[in-house]
Structure 1
Amino acid sequence: DPLVSSLQRYLGASISRRVGVQHALDNDYFNRMDALNYAIGHDDGQGGQDLEQADVVLVGVSRTSKTPTCIYLAHRGVRAANVPLVPTRPPPEKLFELKNTLVVGLTISPDRLIQIRRNRLLSLKEDRESTYIDIEAVREETVKARRLYERQGWPVIDVTRRSVEETAAAVMNLLHGGHGQVEVLG
């Protein structure tokens, strides 16, 4: 193929003529599948007894894209778990005992969060009012989350205007750049 040959010359790379090589079942593939199984088994605070096996734990209030970000990270071979911050119950103690695992707080503007939660309720055909979409309750929920992140010294990513891919890229940067107090604004 002239295009592939041109790319080969331009990049100085050799090409393989083996069909299906991009789907090889190598170590990377098995690491990604392991990471995906881990993410699924540690979604929304499940499997909390072995959070220390995660590369990263995402923490945030409901609807901050924790689950899709973990799945995206898993496809990159990152073992990611997520823990929801629920107003009526404290986070698991195990979360505060992690030493070698990156914990990242996800935050979002209250207005955007209410919009997302309203859409979620509409998709579930749920129309009654609740604290889930009450502006004061949501503001309090997001402020409490921010205070927790600050107390713990966890890096924070604002997902208000970020796609899942952008959030995952920010997490990957944190994983490769250290675990210091970092604020990644969206």
Structure 2
Amino acid sequence: MTKLHLHLLSDSTGETLEMIAKAALSQFEGVDVERHFWPMVRSHQHLDRIMSEITQFPGLVIFTLVNQEIRVSLEAACAEAKMATVSALDAVTTCLSRVLGQEQLHRPGRQHQMDDAYFRRVEAIQFTIAHDDGLLWEEWEESDIILAGVSRTSKTPTAIYLANRGFRCANIPIVPQSPPPPALFRLKRPMVVGLTTSPDRLVQVRRNRLLSLNQAPETDYVQKDMVEDEVRYARRMFADNNWPVIDVTRRSIEETAAAVINLHNERRIERTGPKPV
């Protein structure tokens, strides 16, 4: 069994990288692959922070980087560490063949096999669905990530997206009239992330939601003053508990999830150091 550390580094969400890597790896047998996912790398500072762990686990770095200076820095750092790099637009399969010392098998469709990672994703999705909207808070300690935020800050779709990446997620609405259970503030294992957005955008989203349900859009739920109070209440809670905060106002679900994964990666490195080989 050949061990391969595969680093997927992108200045976006990394969706393209994952699909290309999965399809290419399906052409090789007897490979124990450990994926390291690094999305939204858009600055030299971010690259510098993650290079220490990347070089701890030499293997193959596949990347999509628009910024030429950051790409040059990545290639130079990897060359110094004697690590192979390839752009996702280059011949990924050819590079894997060289790194693994194998000829590709030319078998279509093998990326769809149900491996351990597949079943971990299924379990994560089941967990996430069961712990949506504040449910089963007694089991929150088993989560990897907990998303907190006022209503309509994309908690559920972001949690489901993260579950598809193998993260066990729970989410809870922050409502001033109904504070969260005290257990939320005693959690040790999960990372709690606060999601917020601009009150104006929130009013618009909520109003559209009510209209889609054929409900009158004239309630406290969409009153700007009330919404501003909700957002302030949530932000104060996030700050008081030192939880990281992501503003989802101009982010897609994929971009929000990528930001959460970055926070999770950095928290893991700070707490435990690089992953063991």
Distance change >3 Å, CA 18–CA 12, structure 1 → 2: closer
Per the alignment, residue 203 of structure 2 pairs with 114
- For residue 47 of structure 1, report the CA deviation from its aligned partner: 1.4
SS of the equivalent of 1:16 reads coil
- For residue 7 of structure 1, report the CA deviation from its aligned partner: 3.1
For the Cα contact (< 8 Å) 1:56–1:102, is it kept in 2? Answer: yes
Per the alignment, residue 90 of structure 1 pairs with 179
SS of the equivalent of 2:192 reads strand
User: If the length of structure 2 is used for normalisation, what is the TM-score?
Assistant: 0.61
Counterpart pick for 1:7 among 91, 111, 115: 91
Structure 2 Cα separation of the partners of residues 151 and 104 of structure 1: 13
**What does 1:49-68 align with in structure 2 at a 5 Å threshold?**
49-68=138-157
Q: Does 1:27 align with 2:27?
A: no
Q: Which has the higher contact order (CA 8 A, sep 6+)?
A: 1
Counterpart pick for 1:137 among 218, 222, 226: 226
Q: CA RMSD in A?
A: 1.8
For the Cα contact (< 8 Å) 2:125–2:168, is it kept in 1? Answer: yes
SS of the equivalent of 2:138 reads helix
Q: How many residues align?
A: 176
Letter in 2 for 1:127: A
- For residue 11 of structure 1, report the CA deviation from its aligned partner: 2.6
- For residue 178 of structure 1, report the CA deviation from its aligned partner: 1.2
- For residue 20 of structure 1, report the CA deviation from its aligned partner: 2.6
- For residue 16 of structure 1, report the CA deviation from its aligned partner: 3.0
Q: Which has the larger radius of gyration?
A: 2
Per the alignment, residue 36 of structure 1 pairs with 125
Per the alignment, residue 262 of structure 2 pairs with 173
- For residue 10 of structure 1, report the CA deviation from its aligned partner: 4.5
Counterpart pick for 1:73 among 162, 168, 181: 162
Q: Does 1:146 align with 2:240?
A: no
Unaligned runs of 5+ in 1: 181-186
For the Cα contact (< 8 Å) 1:8–1:15, is it kept in 2? Answer: no
For the Cα contact (< 8 Å) 1:32–1:77, is it kept in 2? Answer: yes
Which deviations, in whole Å up to 9, do the C-alpha atoms of 1:40-88 show, x marking residues without a partner? 0000001111101100000000000000000000010011110111232
Letter in 2 for 1:42: H
Distance change >3 Å, CA 145–CA 8, structure 1 → 2: closer
Letter in 2 for 1:64: T
For the Cα contact (< 8 Å) 1:59–1:105, is it kept in 2? Answer: yes
Distance change >3 Å, CA 50–CA 9, structure 1 → 2: closer
Structure 1 ranges of 4+ moved more than 4 A? none
Letter in 2 for 1:133: V
For the Cα contact (< 8 Å) 2:121–2:166, is it kept in 1? Answer: yes
Per the alignment, residue 33 of structure 2 pairs with none
